[in-house]
Amino acid sequence: MINSEALKQLFPSEEEIDSEHRPPSPVHQRSYLVNGEMKAWDGPVETVRSPVCVRGRDGSLEQVELGSYPIGGELEAEEALAAAVAAYDEGRGVWPTMTVAERIVCMQKFTNQMIASRQELVSLIMWEIGKSQADSEKEFDRTVDYIRATIEALKELDNSNSRFHVVEGTIGQIRRTPLGVVLCMGPYNYPLNETFATLIPALIMGNTVVFKPPRYGALLFHPLLEAFRSAFPKGVINTVYGRGSVVVPRLLDSGKVNVLTLIGSSKVADHLKKLPPKAHRLRAILGLDAKNAAIVLPDADIELAVKECLLGSLSFNGQRCTALKMLIVHQSVVEPFLRRFTEELDKLKVGMPWEKGVSITPLPEPGKVNNMTQLVEDAIAKGARVINKGGGTVCGTLFYPAVIYPVREGMKLYREEQFGPIVPVMSFEDLETALEYVITSEHGQQVSIFSSSPDQIGRLVDPLVNQVCRVNINCQCQRGPDVFPFTGRKDSAEGTLSVTDALRSFSIRSMIATKQTEPNEQLLDAIVTEHKSNFINTRFIF
């Protein structure tokens, strides 16, 4: 039976944590990376507490302290920005003018050092954000695969540009060149993978970076600072710690940041994009809000739909931008669907991140449990019910998933992105009702359709691809494989990420051109054969 006391017993006492899964040694970070140096810090710090609580002898719960990291201010932000600006040097710096092959060598050096720290990084992901050990390992390994795929994609891109074009008497060579200084901010839910999905392509394309780690998941990057320092020229990557509301405006209102990359909320993005003195000069690569829906039609395979919707709505406690955040089920099948859904939900294991087979784990954001409770209470007050046993039960940082039905317009859950373990369900009779929900949404990332009818799927797909950027047929919403584009419409995204799209997002096409005359041909030939330019070349990268 699920109740608060049962959830409390899932938190271990110190003695119950086996030696293999004990918390990592506290990391009290007292340095930050700027201009190729690890600078000492003796200012204010932020204490980091794990979402994992330890149960005391008196039954009280206390979050495990993992360490602390610097809290810088405007001066530190300006210092990091100055280093990045100097390293770029208006495009004359060592990094932006370096050959692609040389930049790849630096990235490979960094990757090798990162792999050497795998165990430490996986442990920090698990303890800092409460992600299961299996998913923490998967996040690390996927990130390494992403870096390697990015390197291969860049080789292919550069090799395809290692030739001259002759058109209408003009000789040209076209390559992709960096944009300048990039401000990179990642999210807490995939602190390594989603952060590096923008940071790595930004770096390898020749940009310099000011990197602000996520508030939850900040310690994770401490073991990587030395790898960044030793693998890249000074000033190419610089870290800034502190309150986003303090340091980020100072960076952007300088007018010296060329690219903003943010995984966060659309409200924050709207505010930040207005800060530069010349807003039109700021390129933005944004992953923002989402309220992805699943539409379950009468002829759907109910067992398949239940399996995919359960994974889609509750993987990592529903703390994913691609999570299914509204289930729209046809009235004729809503009863059997909900019965099977709640039966399968009952089987999910709730516990600590290191436990084998665990699905529901503690929530890392302070106040998140209260926020989830308020959403449930709002829905109940307006006529919905919690239909699963123990749904919405709370203890400490644990929130037992709540399936809410029927959700209607006017309830917060109808439109608000819950970003947590709540599963709102609504029913429909007319297909237009389900379609209208997606059309009128402020979000436009993805949608899932469950049906066995070619006619029905075809009827839905054609309008939906003009509302969202990925329609998943008989499967949950998700990101990947990483070669596929990841983006969104409306308030969900700006710019496109995939292995190849990201390289384009952090660069621009530049070219040299000259008239096709014999002296010019001889001139270009001399530049190429004598290796006078890193841009004008026909080298092939293996």
pLDDT digits (tens, 9 = 90+) for 122-156: 999 999 999 999 999 999 999 999 999 999 999 99
Which residues have CB under 8 Å from 394's CB, separation 6+?
4, 7, 369, 372, 373, 400
229 and 114 Cβ atoms separated by less than 8 Å: no
Q: How far apart are CA 188 and CA 319, in angstroms?
A: 9
Phi and psi at residue 81, to the nearest 5°: -65, -45
pLDDT, position 206: 99
Q: How far apart are CA 400 and CA 390, in angstroms?
A: 7
The dotted CATH code for 292-482 is: 3.40.309.10
pLDDT, position 280: 95
Average pLDDT of the segment spanning 339-347: 99
204 and 178 Cβ atoms separated by less than 8 Å: no
- Percent of the chain exceeding pLDDT 70 equals 100
List the beta bridge partners of residue 490: 443
179 and 95 Cβ atoms separated by less than 8 Å: no
Average pLDDT of the segment spanning 202-221: 98
b/e sequence 122-139, b meaning 16+ C-beta within 10 Å:
bbbbbbbbbbbbebbbeb
Name the helix (H) or strand (E) containing 451.
none
Average pLDDT of the segment spanning 224-237: 98
285 and 497 Cβ atoms separated by less than 8 Å: yes
pLDDT, position 25: 92
Span 422-452, pLDDT tens digits: 999 999 999 999 999 999 999 999 999 999 9
Q: How far apart are CA 340 and CA 86, in angstroms?
A: 60
Q: Which two tokens stand for residue 387?
A: 């239909």
- Percent of the chain exceeding pLDDT 90 equals 98
Q: Which two tokens stand for residue 382?
A: 């307006």
- The topology under which CATH files domain 70-287 is Aldehyde Dehydrogenase; Chain A, domain 1 (3.40.605)
Q: pTM for this structure?
A: 0.96
pLDDT, position 414: 99
Which residues have CB under 8 Å from 318's CB, separation 6+?
325, 401, 418, 419, 420, 421, 422, 423
pLDDT, position 295: 99
Average pLDDT of the segment spanning 232-250: 97
Residue labelled with tokens 């999910």? 348
Instruction: Give the start-to-end residue ranges of the domains of the chain.
Output: 70-287, 292-482
Span 295-323, pLDDT tens digits: 999 999 999 999 999 999 999 999 999 99
Q: How far apart are CA 66 and CA 34, in angstroms?
A: 24
Span 390-405, pLDDT tens digits: 999 999 999 999 999 9
- Closest by CA to 125, choosing from 115, 117, 133, 114, is 133
Residue 398 zone, left/alpha/beta (φ > 0; ψ -120 to 50; rest): beta
Q: How far apart are CA 119 and CA 20, in angstroms?
A: 12
Rg (CA), the chain: 25
**Could you give the C-alpha distances from 309 to 315, 319, 389, 449, in angstroms and in order?**
10, 14, 18, 10
pLDDT, position 1: 83
